[in-house]
């Protein structure tokens, strides 16, 4: 496959949680020239099971140690991993700049869906939804949660702010950055697939300097149901969202529902 005999070229996916980063990492890991551990190699959770396997095995290892190990992957052209915003500290960003990494900055513009999914994940982590999962390759039944409008809207605003701050931070690094959205990967919100569109697969491969291939994974979207199904007090939440800058997210949901009913 024309692989390198030396170390891999460094790269990273930087994104919010629940924005498609795990799916993208899984897609990239299936390329024979890319070493991309699935999950979050830099994750340090409150409980042992929430900590990445690398860091459980070597608890004294730093995030930079893990990134260096990934970058030292022999016989691959690219060594990379998913890094969430909280994990993208100044130290981590400085390391990425030092090694000249290529960055895929993955964002999900529909922050209403991001926030709903994050609240569900929080309930899974705390045990409030013990039978639900974070990642799967099988269909998952919808859940039902109650969300407080005030806190939810603040979460949406925080998500937007974090995306803007990371965009500026990455621009300041002067590294090659490929901006990518969740909608690009899924051909819009409300869709589900097992591979990226051909044009996007080729675009990513060219950006990373590897052979063109269709990138795919059998990971399924866990919370792909519309918010109106997942949030039991959706009518109350929607009423408050209609008074905010997130009205466009509601318009998008209406379009998705219209496409479903029309088909």
pLDDT over threshold 50, residue 3: no
Weakest mean pLDDT among 79-83, 111-115, 136-140: 136-140
- Nearest-CA neighbor of 176 among 78, 36, 261, 87? 78
The full set of domains in the chain, from first to last, is 9-262 (3.40.50)
Residues 15, 22: Cα–Cα separation, whole Å: 10
pLDDT over threshold 50, residue 25: yes
Both tokens of 116, joined, read 């709903």
Which residues, in sequence order, are CB contacts of 152 under 8 Å at separation 6+? 115, 119, 237
DSSP state of 87: G
Whether the full predicted model's pTM is greater than 0.85, yes or no, is yes
Range 57-65, long-range pairs (CB < 8 A, 24+ positions): 63/87, 63/89, 63/91, 63/92, 64/91, 64/92, 64/95
pLDDT over threshold 80, residue 49: no
pLDDT at 181: 96
């Amino acid at each position: 496959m024309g692989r390198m005999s030396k170390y891999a070229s460094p790269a990273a996916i930087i994104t919010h949680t629940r924005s498609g980063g795990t799916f993208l990492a899984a897609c990239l890991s299936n390329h024979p020239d890319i070493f991309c551990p699935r999950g979050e190699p830099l994750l340090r959770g409150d409980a042992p099971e929430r900590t990445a396997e690398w860091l459980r095995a070597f608890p004294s290892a730093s995030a930079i140690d893990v990134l260096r190990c990934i970058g030292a992957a022999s016989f691959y052209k690219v060594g990379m991993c998913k890094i969430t915003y909280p994990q993208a500290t100044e130290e981590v960003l400085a390391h990425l700049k030092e090694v000249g990494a290529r960055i895929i900055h993955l964002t999900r513009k529909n922050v209403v869906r991001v926030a709903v999914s994050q609240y569900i994940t929080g309930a899974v982590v705390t045990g409030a939804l013990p039978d639900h999962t974070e990642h799967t390759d099988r269909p998952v039944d919808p859940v039902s949660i109650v969300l407080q409008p005030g806190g939810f809207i603040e979460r949406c605003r925080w998500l937007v702010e974090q995306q803007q701050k990371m965009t500026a931070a990455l621009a300041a690094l002067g590294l090659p950055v490929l901006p990518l959205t969740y909608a690009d990967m899924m051909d819009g919100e409300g869709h589900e697939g097992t591979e990226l569109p051909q044009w996007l697969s080729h675009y990513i491969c060219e950006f990373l300097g590897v052979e063109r291939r269709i990138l795919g994974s059998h990971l399924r979207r866990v919370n792909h149901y519309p918010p109106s199904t997942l949030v039991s007090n959706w009518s109350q939440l929607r009423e408050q969202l209609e008074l905010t800058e997130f009205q466009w997210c509601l318009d998008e949901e209406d379009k998705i529902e219209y496409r479903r009913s029309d088909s």
